[in-house]
Amino acid sequence: MLHEDSEHLIRLALSEDIGTGDVTTAACVSEDTRARGYFLARQPLVLAGTDVLKAVYDIRGGVDHLELLNEDGDSIQPGERFAEVVGSARTLLECERVALNFLQRLSGVATVARQYAELVEGTKCRILDTRKTTPGMRRLEKDAAKAGGVVNHRIGLYDAILIKNNHISAAGGVRQALEAARAASDLPIEIEVREIDELQEALACGATHLLLDNLSPQQAGEWIHIVNGRATVELSGGITLDSARDYAEAGADFVSVGAITHSAPAVDISFRLEAFGQQKL
């Protein structure tokens, strides 16, 4: 089931595109025309966003049948159909661009996520997504990242405590920040450390989840050796497809990658429609 935030976003996208009505379709297509359409991949991709596709048609009405031929997380090859829909030709045409926009964006996220997840296979490391998401699309993009095979990090500022460098500065130090966080909440606590002294202080204070940022793979391995299993370690900061495996092999438990959501390119998906009685395209 889609979260209500996601449903609101889909309604907004439909309203933004259709406005007072699809004037082209109204002018060219009679109201009683029925049609079938299908979605197909134009490039290799990992599918995501099928719940959104269903919601688009549920919101607009006028659709008799939607058949999903694949599930989120499936690998789709060029030319492969993954969904078919039957209903009012006007509805299918007016929903086309919104449906494609969501599918292309979310499948793009899932495709990049799969690339990262495959790179660390055979190590203990898992890839995490981040909060670097498109405003308003966080839940959808995190669902897409999960479909691609990575682990969802916190959804927002409310479901886990992540003490970053600015929090440490504002609190007066690593110990002060950790003690204040423990006193205030029972939520999981992760803390970022920037220097070896901060690393040692965090471990001395009983930190169980450390974030090490902007280290080289060699530096990361040295710091992880110091940790020696006393805490789980997440690495972040400019980690790419070229370097993710190196960081995983340095001994990280997790590697977080903002690029999964903030830089994933939309994939190429097409929608083809045929009115009943016409020759198939």
Q: Which two tokens stand for residue 164?
A: 């970053």
The encoded tokens of residue 177 equal 């920040």
Q: How far apart are CA 20 and CA 253, in angstroms?
A: 51
DSSP 242-268: TTHHHHHHTT-SEEE-THHHHSPPPP-
Neighbours of 226 (CB within 10 A): 11
Find the radius of gyration of the CA atoms of the chain: 23
> Nearest-5° angle of CA 133, CA 136, CA 141?
45
Q: Which residues are catalytically annotated?
A: 97, 132, 164, 192, 213
Which of 31, 50, 26, 28 is closest to 39 using CA atoms? 50
Q: Cα–chain-centroid distance for residue 245?
A: 20
E runs forming strands in the chain: 34-41, 45-46, 63-68, 75-76, 81-88, 126-128, 161-163, 189-193, 209-213, 232-236, 254-256, 269-275
C-alpha closest to that of 103 among 81, 86, 87: 81
